[in-house]
Amino acid sequence: MTYKHISALCLLALLPLASCKDDFLVQTDPNSVATSDYFKTENDVFVALNGAYQSLRSSNSIGEGSGLFSEERSDNTGRNDNQSNAGEPFQFNDFSLLPSNTNLKTHWLALYQCITRTNQVLSGIETVAFSKPETKAQYSAEAKFIRALIYFHLVRKWGDVPLVTKPLTTADDVTASTFREKKEKVYEQIVADLTEVTTSPLPDHQPLASKGRVSKVAGYALLGQVYLTMATTLDAANRTANLNAAKTNLTSAYTKRTFGALKEIPYADVFDVAKKSTNPEIIFQIVNKQGDINYSSSIAANNQAQGETINSLRNNTGIGGNVTPDLVKEYEETDLRKDFSIKFANAATVKDYFITKYRDASAAAGTNGYGGNDWILIRYADVMLMLAEVNLYLGDEASAVSLLDQVRERAGMPKYEVARTNAAYSSKFPTLKLAILHERRVELAFENHRWFDLLRFFTPAELVTYIRAKSQADFGVAKLSNFGTKDYYYPIPFDENKLNPEKMYQNPGY
């Protein structure tokens, strides 16, 4: 990161947050005040913390439009347009990504902007006297959750990355931090931050007025996923210990749910804009405000294909959210998630499937498509399938199947022991591990989990075999033959690498 980059991030570090409640919709900009003089009161910390939440919303960060950096990298979505924007977006699903790609650089900077904001909060909070110690502890835990979440994205996408845990205020600070820390150290910091969340006075679940803020259950769920990822991608010597830690935290999240079986919550309800604040399956979400030009969601309208009205009242002249034929073919017959998540568009210029999982065709969203969809980052079906995965690895197949069956039952699908007697199912998913991976794919499609699942389920060499075994015909002009072990990680952006080619070394293959 250059000093120019860091300075820009620091200046933007305290932008406000949008949420579903007007009293949670902070619309003041404290950036006119020097950060060294800013933190005087508890409310200053609160507004700065809202700025950290706000940084998650961007499509260049991890907001609803960030699928380019995850879903399009996977086998779920992509694009056949290799010309627009100098062909740079196409590089992600064509596995021809260059270090000079400007989208990649923008993503890197946006993620570090999030981290800059959390570091500002965590530094400033120490200069303020709080009336209640638990308020300070809650704010600290929220900031550390956001920092851990973003570092989790960085370490899975790039491997070794700069690890910055304090504000960088001088050129010397920046120089000292311009090096790639080993991924194991980055994971240590992630675990430390999330452990504080799980031991904090945060509520297990946030009340209606605070939807969109971090809860203790969100901490348990994310920490469980982190341990599971460490178990499957880091040193095998720590695999069992990490799996047990994953099970402990995922179980803590699971047992704190406020409903019984998953089937009590219809699949469509999870994405219903009228039920988004009260749906007990949602653990952590980025909240949008229906009808608001600045803080509404555009995912429904943007995914809608020409000639269609299922997602939004806004007319769209494009092809909508791309769905690969490879994903379309993976849905089992009668899986209700297929008809809810995707639809075939008959317009002559489309004649293809588009994404319908996110919908708001209400009058409140209007013809401008200012939708109220929240962007869900963590929900219970995800937790349950991760827990099934952990139990499988620990040798408890019965518990793994039980959790898998809950998800399948909600989707109207036969239980695993019945499904595996079906020749078509068993040929596609001959092992329980592949059955869980399949279930994650169709359950969580277009929620930006698929690429990370592939990294976790396969070694780099195994992933090359898996991707290249697919039919090229199901991926359009993007070439599967381009995929190699180098694609397990992104390249370090060119401008970052050239700062210090030794300490900001490039990933292999680029």
**394 shares a domain with 324:** no
What is the reported pLDDT for 36?
64
Q: Quick: pLDDT tens for 187-222.
A: 999 999 999 999 999 999 999 999 999 999 999 999
Q: What is the pLDDT of residues 144-184, one digit of tens each?
A: 999 999 999 999 999 999 999 999 989 999 999 999 999 99
Q: For residue 32, what pLDDT band results from cuts at 50, 70 and 90? A: very low
Residue at 465 is within a domain: no
Same structural domain for residues 195 and 212?
Answer: no
Tell me what pLDDT residue 35 has. Answer: 65
What CATH number is given to the structural domain containing 103? Answer: 1.25.40.390
pLDDT in tens, 482-495: 999 999 999 999 99
Q: How many domains does the chain have?
A: 3
248-263 core/surface letters (b: 16 or more CB in 10 A; e: else): ebbbbbbeebeeeebe
List, for residues 66-115, the tens digit of each pLDDT value.
999 999 999 999 999 999 999 999 999 999 999 999 999 999 999 999 99
CA angle 257, 261, 265 (to 5 degrees): 85
> Containing domain of residue 340, as a range?
288-373
Per the model's pLDDT, the better-predicted residue between 9 and 56 turns out to be: 56
Do residues 250 and 360 share a domain?
no
Model pLDDT for residues 288-345, shown as the tens digit of each residue: 999 999 999 999 999 999 999 999 999 999 999 999 999 999 999 999 999 999 999 9
Reported as a pLDDT band with limits 50, 70 and 90, residue 349 is very high
CB-based burial label for 339 (10 Å; 0-12, 13-18, 19+): exposed
| Three-state secondary-structure class, residue 251 | helix
Residue 510 included in any domain: no
Residue 26 confidence (pLDDT): 35
Q: What is the DSSP letter of 238?
A: G
Give yes or no for residue 11 having a pLDDT over 90.
no
Q: Is residue 467 part of a domain?
A: no
Domain co-membership, 157 together with 223: no
247 and 320, same domain (yes or no): no
The answer as to whether 420 is a domain residue is yes
Residues 55 and 168 in one domain: yes
Phi/psi for 379 (5° steps) reads: -145, 170
Tell me the pLDDT tens digit for each residue of 380-407: 999 999 999 999 999 999 999 999 999 9
Q: Clarify whether residues 231 and 346 are in a common domain.
A: no
Query: What distance in Å separates the CA atoms of residue 86 and residue 94, rounded to the nearest whole number?
Result: 14
**Residue 446 sits in the same domain as residue 308:** no
**How confident is the model at residue 34, as a pLDDT?**
57
Has residue 450 got a pLDDT over 60? yes
For residues 438-463, average pLDDT: 98
Contacts of 89 (CB under 8 A, 6+ apart): 68, 72, 79, 81, 103
Left if phi > 0, otherwise alpha if psi is -120 to 50, otherwise beta: which for 98? Answer: beta
Is residue 168 situated within a structural domain?
Answer: yes
Same domain, 367 and 382: no
Domain final residue pick, 322, 343, 373: 373
421 domain residue, yes or no = yes
269 contacts 357 by C-beta, under 8 angstroms: no
**Over the stretch 239-291, which tens digit does the pLDDT of each residue have?**
999 999 999 999 999 999 999 999 999 999 999 999 999 999 999 999 999 99
Q: Are 261 and 369 contained in the same domain? A: no
Has residue 235 got a pLDDT over 50? yes
Same domain? For 337 and 389 the reply is no
**pTM of the entire structure?**
0.93
Of the three residues 327, 342, 373, the one that is the final residue of a domain is: 373
Question: Is position 87 within any domain?
Answer: yes
- 181 by DSSP, 3-state: which? strand
Sign of CA dihedral 184, 188, 191, 193: negative
CATH code where residue 238 lies: 1.25.40.900
Residue 131 lies in a domain: yes
On whether both 149 and 195 belong to a single domain, the answer is yes
